[in-house]
Amino acid sequence: MVQSDVVGFRFGEFELDVSLFELRHQGERVQIDRKVFDLLCYLVEHRERVVTKEELLQQVWHGEAVVEAVVPTAVARLRRALQQSGARGGPIETAHGRGYRFAAEVRHAGDSTAPAGEIDTDLHPDLRDAFVGRERLMRRLEGALSRAEDGRTQVRLLFGEPGIGKSRAAREITARAKKRGIEAWLGRCRPDDGGARPWLWVQIIRQLRDELGDAGVAALPADQRQALIALLPELAGPGAPASPPFGREHFDALARLLRTSARHGTRLLVLDDIHWADALSLSLLAYLSEALGAARILIVATVRDTELPPEHPSWGLIERIERAESGKRVPLSPLSREAVAEYVHILWGHAPEAPVAEALHLQTAGNPLWVREAARTVLSRWLAGEAPDPATIRAPPNARDAVRARLEALDEQTREVVEAAAVIGQYFELPVLQRVLRAEPGALLRALDRAERARLIERTEDESGALCFAHPMLRDTIYGGLSSALRCKLHLQVAEVFEQQRPLQGRATAEIATHLHRALPHGEAARVVDYGLRAARHAQQQGDPESAAQWLARAYEGLCYADQADPALAAELMVELGRSHAQEGRTAAAREALSWALELASRNQEAALFAAAAERELSALDAPGEDDDGA
């Protein structure tokens, strides 16, 4: 059977029900054999192009030893079933010398039952990304958008667990804003964001710069132009002196620049996954939530609160945003049983039986991502001949088993590609993936196509050509399922590719350091130490002692894997680690690191060179006014 992600199709007076293996004409079942039915399914699914006879033999007859005449014979029988009298003028056209094409206008069977206003068929023509049970949420967001149009800045923080629909709601309000003629700009955070510039706002301001154009940038007041150049140094032009890094001194100028832009029309800023944002990006968001005032701007930010432990420093900035007059927290709750049934109805093309909907709601806790994964698992079994049984429906609390089942259903080559991509990260680039796998380009692209059809990966909306996992939970599940040996081996290969392809500075250095550290005990300990130190010193230059301390600790861990001990280097690392802990206010941790540096110095003559530095740092900690945080 040729399987489809969509259960039903309509064309003319006919309905093709894939789930029940039926072709119906005006509601009455049409008798056709299995291969003719499979042929119809394949032609409908690939109706945008001519399908060759060779492809049909391979995909419908699976390369079985049959004579070529079997295809035109089956086509003729299918035409009779569809009441088509010849090669033209009906649903199935013959492209002489090439193959066949399904030419009738096709609609998905669920189109006529989709609830008005909840499914945007212009943006989601296949209705596979259902958006239900969020009427109240969308009323709140559209109300905020209307207030922004009236000249009152609004900030909405969408909170919720992975898969609950935060990013989906942000896409929906973006679509509705665009229908109202409102410009929308998107910024997306990634787990390892950081560096000299606030990456989240670099993305937003690039879109603002595109709106301004060269003439508009040149006409800006000097301070606004300098803020723009601090974020986008390429605007300074060749040969220009290096601009100072973007900092808090640029916040006011940037706020005025955004207010000026909003005078020409309402602006929607969508900031996705700000739980991964660097401190400077969050600080700027907090400032703007307080300073934009009477501007026609709505900011919608998504926050996966389960990613942030209670003591995480980002909470202070997020709470500051909530306290602003413009700011409001909008928590996303699980879907109700009725919404789950509606969601599955759209996904399958027909309504599930009440016990099936109840079981899906119970097993998934109403998480839309988990509902989708569980419903697709049930559908796959149904298409294989196993009727939905509420007693057998399962979706673990985080739906990881459902993801693993989809992964296991792929061929070995596609699984290897997806696993390597998971090691690279949530976002990955095709050239990097190809070199990590040493794959033949055509085979790699075909494997990625299969992974995309399985809804494991998707293409990003920007122009970078990057790919990403359809949801971070998918990537996390696949990565977590790798054996330790394979995971370490792939991390080492990724690090080696990054070394060859990326400039060894800033963010690239941190990426290489991350993969080398995660490859331990594979690889060279010296490289783990080297890149850990580079990443730490880069973080120190950026005024980020917390990240510097993390990198120094990883470098020290790498040193522990070295064939020969290096007490002097260990003492140096401990002194720098103590200094970084002191800068971030963790005095107890600083004392522990510095005390260990002194212990190493007492045991080794070369390490003794760092004793004086350790003692100076300890003396500074003991100076009046230094409080022990107990950390």
Q: Final residue of a domain: which of 294, 313, 331?
A: 331
Burial label for 358, CB within 10 Å (0-12, 13-18, 19+), is middle
Query: Is position 377 within any domain?
Result: no
Task: Give, for 586, the enclosing helix (H) or strand (E).
Answer: none
Does residue 64 have a pLDDT over 70?
Answer: no
In a domain, 99, yes or no: yes
Q: How confident is the model at residue 437 (pLDDT cuts 50, 70, 90)?
A: very high
Band (pLDDT 50/70/90 cuts) for residue 309 is low
Instruction: Using the predicted structure, report yes or no on whether residue 366 has a pLDDT greater than 70.
Output: yes
Question: pLDDT digits over 401-435, tens only?
Answer: 657 777 887 889 999 999 999 999 988 999 999 99
The reported pLDDT for the residue numbered 118 is: 32
Rounded CA gap, 286 and 411, in Å? 47
Domain membership flag for residue 572? no
Q: Give yes or no: residues 253 and 300 share one domain.
A: yes
Amino acid at 577: L
Total domains, the chain: 2
Q: Which two tokens stand for residue 569?
A: 């280097």
Q: For the residues of 27-44, what is the DSSP string, one character each?
A: TEEE---HHHHHHHHHHH
pLDDT of 230: 86
Over residues 598-608, mean pLDDT: 82
* Model pLDDT, residue 196: 58
Domain end, chosen from 331, 349, 364, is at: 331
Same domain for 320 and 251, yes or no, is yes
Lowest mean pLDDT, pick from 305-309, 442-446, 535-539 = 305-309
Reduced to 3 states (helix: H, G, I; strand: E, B; else coil), residue 116 is: coil
Asked if residue 316 and residue 195 are part of one domain, the reply reads: yes
Task: Let me know whether 102 and 142 are in one domain.
Answer: no
Q: Which two tokens stand for residue 181?
A: 């003629």
Other Cβ atoms less than 10 A from the Cβ of 491: the count is 22
Q: Does any domain span residue 243?
A: yes
Residue that wins the pLDDT comparison between 247 and 303: 303
Task: Assess whether pLDDT exceeds 80 at residue 312.
Answer: no
Please, which pLDDT band fits residue 172 given cuts at 50, 70 and 90? Answer: very high
Considering 331, 359, 386, which residue would you say is the last residue of a domain? 331
381 is a domain residue: no
475 lies in a domain? no
pLDDT for the residue numbered 473: 66
According to the model, what pLDDT value does residue 306 have?
63
How many whole angstroms separate alpha carbon 557 and alpha carbon 423?
21
Quick: pLDDT tens for 94-132. 877 778 888 888 876 554 433 322 333 333 333 345 789
Q: What is the pLDDT of residues 195-242, one digit of tens each?
A: 557 888 988 988 888 888 888 888 899 889 888 888 888 787 777 777
- Kindly state whether residues 207 and 271 are assigned to the same domain: yes
Which CATH number covers residue 281? 3.40.50.300
pLDDT band at residue 487 under the 50/70/90 scheme: very high
Tokens (6 digits) for 3: 């399987």
Please check whether residue 269 lies inside any domain of the structure. Answer: yes
Q: Are 154 and 104 in the same domain?
A: no
- For residues 257 and 208, the answer to whether their CB atoms sit within 8 Å is yes
Q: Helix, strand, or coil here: 263?
A: coil
Higher pLDDT, 322 or 25: 322
3-17, 104-118, 462-476, 603-617: the lowest-pLDDT one: 104-118
E-assigned strand segments in 466-607: 467-469
Same domain assignment for residues 165 and 274: yes
Average pLDDT over residues 340-367: 86
Pair 279, 317: CB distance under 8 Å: yes
Residues 89 and 152 in one domain: no
**CATH classification at residue 35:** 1.10.10.10
Q: Does pLDDT of 1 surpass 50? A: no
Q: Give the tens place of pLDDT for each residue, 495-530.
A: 999 988 766 555 788 889 999 999 988 878 888 888
Q: Are residues 153 and 253 in the same domain?
A: yes
Contact 363, 393 (CB under 8 A): yes
Query: Any idea which of 24-33, 128-137, 351-360, 398-407 has the lowest mean pLDDT?
Result: 398-407
Residues 157 and 287 in one domain: yes
The β-bridge relationship of strands 51-52 and 14-17 is unpaired
Mean pLDDT across the chain, nearest whole number?
Answer: 82
Residues 37, 88 within the same domain:
yes
pLDDT digits (tens, 9 = 90+) for 558-601: 888 887 778 888 888 888 899 898 888 888 888 898 888 888 88
**Order of strands across the sheet that contains 457-459:** 427-428, 467-469, 457-459
pLDDT tier for residue 630 given thresholds of 50, 70 and 90:
very low
pLDDT at 113: 38
pLDDT of residue 283: 93
| pLDDT 10s digits, 272-296 | 999 888 889 999 999 999 999 899 9
Quote the domain boundaries for residue 252.
Answer: 135-331
Same domain for 206 and 67:
no
Q: Is residue 373 part of a domain?
A: no
